[in-house]
Chain A
Amino acid sequence: MLYTLILMLSMNFHVVESELPNGLDIIIGEDHSAPVVTVCIVVDTGGTCESPESNGLAHFYEHMFFKGNTALPNQTAYNARMRELGMIRNGTTGTEVVRYYLTVSSDLFDEGLEFMYDAITGPMFDPEEIVNERSVIMNEYERKTNHPFWNYWRMKEEVLSIEKYRSSSIGVPQVIMAADQEIMHEFQHEYYTPDNSALIVTGDVDAEAIMPVIEEMFSRWEFGGRSDYFELDLNISIPKDTTVYVGGPQGMGMINIVYVGPSMANQQEWTFAADVWGQYMGRMTGEFYNNLVANGPFLDVHASYYSQRFEPSITFGGTIDPSLADQGLEMMQIEIQNMFDQGYFTESGIEMAAEQLRRHRLFNEESSRDMATETFPFWWVQGGGLDYYNNYPDSLMAVTADDISLYLNRWIKDKPSAVFVVTPEGEWVE
């Protein structure tokens, strides 16, 4: 027996986990409600693995994934095979994760799996295709600059990141235009290894029947052991209180107050209270909403913890008439202080927040395809495996008002924050 089966009953469908000897994690979720199957490869890499000289390569690599490989020599052949299989596919590059996924009819599972195997293990990085793809990625970059919140995104990188290039997945034009075959192979050699990846399959399959097929195929993928992903440093720092005004779209004001949050890499014990706290604050009948929206100047508000390994953050934010932005900022800062009052967090409210998170999980599990492409990849990367996700509901139910108080004192009380005020008149000034 080369793998270990860990049976886990998810809320709506049957999930099986295992690990191949080469280190590849396997996650299979059975869902027989439609005759399709989704195959996803998730890799522990992304913008956070980059240097100033390689800023944008993780994303460039993602583009090259959909080009020629040892089985399908160029993109034209690649596209023809996709049509043959009726394949719907995509890939995404984030700062902390890269995902590739495809969906095919379940009777074509073996072919879809083989397609994924060839693409992940044997990319050619044809020089001509690389040159072509530079232009494609530059157009993607140019499109992003047209987005109404482009200035805000850039300013966040500038203010919050210790090494700002690690926060920008799209990269910079000079790196994009210089990418070549050798650089791509170096990136593959370091990160695209089974011990740095997970294979996720969900849909109309029999987990026990397909496991040997997966094992036979993916055991050929050679162990790497070269990734530095788990040794990377935290990439967020707010050394002092900072306020920046940023230009945004006409007619809209937005305020975000950001604190450094606990890292999913080594501070997971704080994250359950963080999530319950965020859900508590998001209640439309809670004090935060009532004081700032129902009886205040904001149109909507949110407070949340973003589960990340390298750039974990806690954000209080809201949308507001731009002419009321300064008043809104003052009120939000007062409301943040109010959180430390005795009785702000009630046990009944905390129970409701935990119950809401349980429901949130049920909603997420509606589509097994979304589980393969969104939920499992996110939690596998952030949790360093699926144990965190599996134990999540029990951990949430154990959170008390004292836990939330400890969390607030540790991460927010008297801690420096970065304030972003986005208005049409805002400028790039600090």
Chain B
Amino acid sequence: MMQLLCVLALLASAPENVTEFDLDNGIHVISRTVTGGEVEGLSFFLVGGSRVLNEDNQGIEAFALEAALTGSDTYPDQRWREIMDVTLASWNASYNYDYSRYHLKCLSEDLPLLLDGFADCLLEPELDSVVVGRMQDSQLIALQSDLNDPDKKIWLVANRGFMGAGHPYLLRPDGIPSTLSSFDVNDARLWLSNRIKSGNIVITHAGRTSPEELKELLEVSFGRIPEGGDVFPEVPEFGIERDTLVVENDETLSAYVVVKFKAPPVGSEYAAAYSTAMGVVDEMLWQVLRTENALTYAVNGGNTSSYQRNWGYMYISTTEPVLSASLMTGVFSDVVNGNVDQSVVTGVANNNRTMQGINALSMDTQCWMLGSGYISTGDWRTPYLLQESLEDMTVDEMSDALNSWAGVAGWGIIADDTLVDFNEFEPLPLKGE
């Protein structure tokens, strides 16, 4: 039975015209009606992420979903490619610690056909070993390319000290070369049959198709997905107990430094203040390390806000990592101690308001916000309502949040030992203690 729940935008920052409903098999759908354009966005979230992986099958879900999307029994490889040619639709896949996300971008007129094909690929995948093998080689190349890029690799280096041995977020949702290369079509088939269950799935949509039309389309496509789902274990706290440092020697002209530290869950009373604090850290890092000291082209700070467990971070690429790390902790310490002008705090809220407006222009971003908010807190409005809390944020609230949550630090550094003396590095305490 169709149960449409029209959600009123109780607060100004939450968008209007958002409707939530469940398919008959229980799949939860959140749709934002956006009129005016012809572009539709639809995101398929498969909840689980690293929690359903182990050391030997890291990347299996990324492999299985990409393999499935090469064709189905009804839409075999050649036919499916024809549809892609005609519609010029695009798929954008991303795999993170809490869920896999497949996003479809298409014109409104093509949505029915593409939804039918999409669901069919998940339920009745063709899994031609030659086609899947080609896809697998492409995945491996992309993975290898990322591992060759120190700017991307540095984030994983920092994880090693921060997350602690055995933490599920150490398992790579997109795999590692040794696991990714070991999968075959049978692994994909088994994985899909176990994971494609209504209770594991959330669908979000942004576009001009009405909720009623969308529900009709989804019932005949995704409504075929069997009921059931996984029970996910709680994500443990990060294991870091003291300041740590992981150093990797690499032939680079610039060094890369990342430090990670704990952040509150999205629904926490501290979430908005912590996010503001990291926005202020970001501003001050730019001011001190780039404007005043010219140590870098790229420096930033921030926090994750869509995972079961979040973290704050600071990043820099520089030829002077030791001095930079010291200045970074100085900035952090200033923010923790409230040595910041209120105008900087207000500026973070102002910037966020503009970003909300920019985000509203993209169907892709809207789908991501609706889904990640719902998955991490049970309420799609959470990312939108952040702005309400930011408006009147004070320096004291902000520094209190940072002080309460950010303790020990997990540092990661990639540098060339011919340019930098590794003996000079040490895991600096964040608050300058």
Contacts and interface: CB of A to CB of B under 8 A. Distances in A.
A250 B290 contact: no
Interface string A249-285: 1111000000000000000000000000000000111
B137 interface: yes
Contact of B107 (A79, A352, A362): A362
B287 A76 contact: yes
A352 B291 contact: no
Interface stretch (B48-56, B227-235, B340-348, B371-379): B340-348
Contact of B140 (A140, A251, A352): A251
Interface in B323-371: 343-344, 346-355, 357-358, 360-363
A109 B150 CA distance: 40
Given A249-B148, A299-B141, A363-B105, A33 B351 contact: no
B354 A87 contact: yes
Task: Name the residue among B319, B352, B357 with the largest chain A CB count within 10 angstroms.
Answer: B357
Interface residues of A, number: 64
A386 B192 CA distance: 49
B351 A299 contact: no
A142 B144 contact: no
B249 to A, nearest CB: 14
Interface in A139-174: 139-140, 142-143, 145-148
Contact of B357 (A36, A75, A84, A285): A36
Interface string A334-373: 0000000000000000001000100110110111111000
Contacts of B6: none
B86 interface: yes
B254 A142 contact: yes
Interface residues of B, number: 65
A84 B78 contact: no
A284 B88 CA distance: 11
Max chain B Cβ within 10 angstroms of own Cβ: one of A319, A352, A359? A359
A217 interface: no
Interface string A2-31: 000000000111000000000000000001
A36 B358 contact: yes
A104 to B, nearest CB: 6
Given A142-B319, A146-B150, A366 B253 contact: no
A79 B291 contact: yes
A86 B294 contact: no
Interface in B136-189: 137-138, 140-141, 144-145, 147-151, 177
Query: Taking chain B's interface residues, is the majority helix, strand, or loop, or is none over half, making it mixed?
Result: helix
A391 interface: no
B141 A136 contact: no
Given A105-B357, A359-B88, A147 B39 contact: no
B251 to A, nearest CB: 9
A360 B297 contact: no
Given A80-B343, A88-B355, A143-B254, A252 B149 contact: no
Interface string B73-114: 000011001101111101000000000000001010000000
Contact of A84 (B85, B298, B343): B343
> Which one of A13, A31, A131, A284 has the highest number of Cβ atoms from chain B below 10 Å of its Cβ?
A284
Interface stretch (B30-38, B268-276, B393-401): B30-38
A278 to B, nearest CB: 14
A321 B140 CA distance: 11
Contact of A250 (B90, B144, B252, B348): B144
Contacts of B351: 83, 86-88
Contacts of A369: 358, 361
A366 B361 contact: yes
A133 interface: yes
B145 A360 contact: no
B134 interface: yes
A143 B319 CA distance: 10
A34 interface: yes
Given A251-B140, A321-B137, A132 B294 contact: yes
A293 B150 contact: no
Given A135-B294, A143-B317, A251-B141, A366 B363 contact: yes
A417 B148 CA distance: 30
Most chain A CB within a 10 A radius of its CB, from B77, B85, B290, B351: B85
A119 to B, nearest CB: 16
A343 to B, nearest CB: 19
Nearest to B345: A83
A252 B151 contact: no
B37 to A, nearest CB: 5
Given A79-B287, A366-B362, A369-B358, A252 B297 contact: no
Contact of B85 (A13, A36, A83, A356): A356
A252 B144 CA distance: 8
Interface string A74-101: 0110011011111110000000000000
A52 interface: no
Contact of A143 (B77, B298, B349): B298
Given A365-B37, A369-B361, A133 B346 contact: no
Given A79-B286, A142-B253, A284 B137 contact: no
B382 interface: no
A354 to B, nearest CB: 12
Sorted from nearest, which 6 A-B pairs have the closest CB atoms? A83-B347, A86-B350, A36-B357, A140-B297, A34-B360, A142-B253
Given A36-B354, A83-B283, A85-B350, 8 more contacts: A12-B36, A33-B361, A142-B319, A146-B149, A249-B144, A251-B144, A300-B138, A363-B105
